[in-house]
């Protein structure tokens, strides 16, 4: 039986083939041991600080917000090595891999951010990485594919199914079923079967802890709202974790509304999905009435996933966190606005959170401190955004 | 009511093991699928293991994934699958029929009503590929309410304690994994499963059927020699359907030959 709680209310669990249970139990035990082992914590912290560049800054925006009552801060995970928050938890899981005496790492990636983070951690720690990526994504994200290969990872295109992230996850789980003896499945978000949602949250928890300390230092009080984008939900849960027991801090997750929630082209699993099981977890998913999984859609590949981490499902159901959705168009607008007003090019994922925060800022009628998790930088999105905005674009919004 | 019990008793008297082919319901299309399943039975299958096509089958290799995609494209929704099952049951009242599918299809319908519907379509057992012992309770409960045998998988890497619990919880039969990995005929079963089978027997498990990587008659023989009560062959069966997608007569003829040769290997010396 499990040593840690495998559920968040009714959500979560371990819906995997019996064959994978021993590997998940081994991982849970390794994680428990590591949490109590000072030398593990020391090594993890040293990697985060000296290799990845933690703590990341908290930046007060200067020009973005016109409402004088509002202070909008950005938590700068975009400045982390690798270009996104992903590096935090990947370093943690790579250390766990070594702790379990495994030499290989299996991972899935959508946009290539988690794959890139996995590739860099494996290069650093001497692990052999193979990364599954939907064939469509391999085409769409060529620079990240090259990055991964440059750092020694094997990138395996998956053409089964829709050729996107969910199919890459399927393939990674199949690989793990055959190779759990020597390989760790380094899952990339706070979803999947227990203990992944808990491990990924704990290895991203420093995001929120740093925010607390930095806001207290700058403002002498807690922020009013934390805003983060939610695909699988790792950057959001990392930001929320330290504040869940303090209801005076509002937690807001922003899902991708794609072409609009009235269409089928979105990835807003909490706002519009229903309860079901995907990739080992009972959570909100996108499915048809027979239970077949439906394709998600978003302009941002990192949010394009038809399920969500089970703790977010629980936070939504209990009302502790609020979940909203932002369209492609709104996100693209925020993307340009941040570049224009602050000189920061955000990831399209993070642009969703920013877009909602800007709406909140406009509506605020009293003094308000908002912190947005700027979970990644936008370099990876430049080709995609160029193709949307066109060659005529000259910086006017 | 217990078709599995009757079957295993009869086989014991005849000194035979069970040969159980698997196909995806609705592959390559619902009408052909009905004829294919009839052929399997007419050629000597002792029981059937039948899949409901699902969009994201994480425990299946490429052969069965492709079968699921073909079936889904051909419109094999769960209601269509139940309808085919009902027709099979009407024609063959004796043969044990097991379902093998994924949890979300069961959940979407509601666990209890899915099991009840399966029962009324003549299903004897249900195995859910992504529900391990640890999550089985609500499914097991629905199974016993509906009078369906809940099948569990005994994998080669399970602890003794887990095996004991699996042996105790699995009714009808126990699905013994011949090897790690996903379904597929590309990698042979490790037929040195004797230790695993012995442990299950000591734990008074329901009869054991060995599956994953079984595609040839000599493997069926080896499985029985290692102590299994029978063998399940999925991908090898599905491969025959895939090979002759535009020639139903050829499919049926080759399935006939395949099932007969596999069944012949279940006759104990």
Integer angstrom CA distances of residue A76 from A52, A85, A90, A189, A347: 13, 9, 18, 19, 11
Is a pLDDT exceeding 80 seen at residue B125? yes
Integer angstrom CA distances of residue B77 from A188, B66, B147: 32, 16, 24
Integer angstrom CA distances of residue B204 from B8, B66, B166, B228: 15, 37, 10, 13
Distance CA B13, CA B61 (A): 36
Q: How confident is the model at residue A157, as a pLDDT? A: 96
Chain A residues touching residue B54 (CB < 8 angstroms):
291-292
> What would the two tokens of residue A202 be?
């704990």
- Pairwise CB contact (< 8 Å): B56 & A293: yes
Nearest to B130 among A16, A161, A293 (CB): A16
Q: How far is B130 from chain A (nearest CA, A)?
A: 4
**DSSP H or E run through B119:** helix B111-120
- Pairwise CB contact (< 8 Å): A18 & B133: yes
pLDDT digits (tens, 9 = 90+) for A353-379: 999 999 999 999 999 999 999 999 999
Best of B109, B177, B180 to mutate (most A CBs within 10 Å, chain A): B180
The whole-chain average pLDDT of chain A stands at: 96
Distance CA A140, CA A383 (A): 9
Contact A94, A69 (CB under 8 A): no
pLDDT digits (tens, 9 = 90+) for A107-162: 999 889 999 999 999 999 999 999 999 998 888 788 899 999 999 999 999 987 77
How confident is the model over B96-111, as a mean pLDDT?
A: 98
Q: How far is A21 from chain B (nearest CA, A)?
A: 8
**Cα dihedral A295, A301, A307, A313 in deg (nearest 10):** -140
Is a pLDDT exceeding 60 seen at residue B1? no
Q: How confident is the model at residue B178, as a pLDDT? A: 85
- Does this model's pTM top 0.80? My answer is yes
How confident is the model over A63-67, as a mean pLDDT?
A: 98
- Pairwise CB contact (< 8 Å): A291 & B182: no
Q: Strand B153-154: give its sheet, edge to edge.
A: B149-151, B125-128, B97-101, B48-51, B18-24, B230-233, B208-211, B174-177, B153-154
pLDDT digits (tens, 9 = 90+) for A178-231: 999 999 999 999 999 999 999 999 999 999 999 999 999 999 999 999 999 999
Is a pLDDT exceeding 90 seen at residue A30? yes
């Amino acid at each position: 039986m499990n040593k840690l709680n495998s559920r968040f209310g009714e959500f979560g669990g371990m819906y995997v083939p019996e064959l994978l249970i021993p590997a998940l139990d081994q991982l849970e035990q390794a994680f428990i041991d590591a949490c109590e082992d000072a030398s593990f914590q020391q090594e993890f912290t040293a990697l985060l600080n000296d290799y990845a560049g933690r703590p990341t800054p908290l930046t007060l925006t200067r020009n973005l917000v016109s409402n004088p009552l509002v202070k909008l801060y950005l938590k700068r995970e975009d400045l982390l090595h690798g270009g996104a928050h992903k590096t935090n938890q990947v370093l943690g899981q790579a250390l766990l891999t070594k702790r379990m005496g495994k030499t290989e790492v299996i991972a899935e990636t959508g946009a290539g951010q988690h794959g890139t983070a996995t590739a860099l951690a494996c290069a650093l720690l001497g692990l052999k990485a193979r990364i599954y990526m939907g064939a469509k994504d391999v085409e769409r994200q060529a620079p990240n594919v090259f990055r991964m290969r440059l750092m020694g990872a094997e990138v395996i295109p998956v053409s089964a199914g829709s050729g996107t992230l969910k199919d890459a996850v399927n393939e990674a789980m199949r690989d793990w079923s055959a190779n759990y003896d020597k390989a760790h499945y380094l899952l990339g978000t706070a979803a999947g079967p227990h203990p992944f949602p808990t491990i990924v949250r704990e290895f991203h928890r420093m995001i929120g802890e740093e925010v607390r300390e930095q806001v207290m230092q700058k403002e002498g009080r807690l922020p009013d709202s934390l805003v983060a984008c939610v695909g699988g939900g790792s950057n959001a849960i990392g930001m929320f974790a330290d504040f869940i027991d303090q209801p005076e801090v509002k937690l807001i997750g922003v899902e991708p509304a794609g072409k609009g929630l009235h269409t089928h082209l979105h990835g807003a699993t909490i706002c519009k999905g229903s309860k079901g099981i995907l990739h080992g977890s009972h959570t909100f998913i996108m499915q048809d009435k027979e239970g077949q999984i439906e394709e998600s859609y978003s302009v941002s590949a990192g949010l394009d996933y038809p399920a969500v981490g089970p703790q977010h499902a629980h936070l939504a159901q209990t009302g502790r966190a609020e979940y909203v959705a932002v369209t492609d168009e709104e996100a693209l607008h925020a993307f340009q606005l941040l570049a224009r007003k602050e000189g920061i090019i955000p990831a399209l994922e993070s642009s969703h959170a920013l877009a909602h925060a800007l709406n909140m800022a406009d509506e605020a009628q009293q003094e308000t401190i908002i912190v947005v998790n700027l979970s990644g930088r936008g370099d990876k999105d430049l080709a995609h955004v160029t193709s949307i905005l066109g060659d005529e674009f000259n910086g006017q919004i | 009511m217990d078709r599995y019990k009757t079957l295993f008793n009869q086989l014991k008297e005849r000194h035979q093991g069970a040969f159980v082919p698997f196909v995806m319901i609705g592959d390559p299309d619902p009408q052909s699928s009905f004829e294919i399943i009839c052929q399997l039975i007419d050629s000597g299958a002792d029981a059937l293991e039948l899949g409901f096509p699902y969009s994201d089958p994480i425990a299946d290799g490429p052969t069965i994934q492709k079968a699921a995609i073909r079936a889904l494209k051909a419109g094999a929704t769960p209601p269509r699958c139940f309808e085919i099952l009902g027709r099979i049951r009407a024609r063959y009242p004796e043969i044990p029929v097991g379902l093998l599918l994924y949890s979300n299809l069961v959940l979407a319908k509601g666990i209890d009503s899915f099991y009840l519907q399966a029962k009324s379509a003549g299903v004897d057992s249900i195995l859910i590929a992504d529900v391990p012992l640890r999550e089985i309770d609500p499914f097991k409960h629905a199974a016993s309410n509906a009078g369906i045998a809940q099948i569990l998988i005994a994998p080669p890497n399970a602890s003794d304690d887990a095996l004991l619990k699996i042996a105790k919880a699995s009714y009808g039969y126990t699905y013994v994994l011949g090897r790690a990995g996903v379904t597929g005929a590309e990698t042979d079963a490790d037929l040195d499963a004797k230790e695993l089978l012995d442990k299950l027997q000591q734990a008074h498990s329901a009869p054991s059927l060995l599956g994953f990587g079984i595609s040839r008659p000599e493997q069926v023989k080896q499985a029985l020699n290692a102590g299994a009560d029978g063998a399940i062959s999925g991908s090898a069966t599905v491969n025959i359907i895939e090979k002759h997608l535009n020639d139903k007569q050829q499919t049926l003829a080759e399935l006939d030959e395949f099932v007969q040769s596999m069944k012949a290997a279940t006759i104990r010396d």
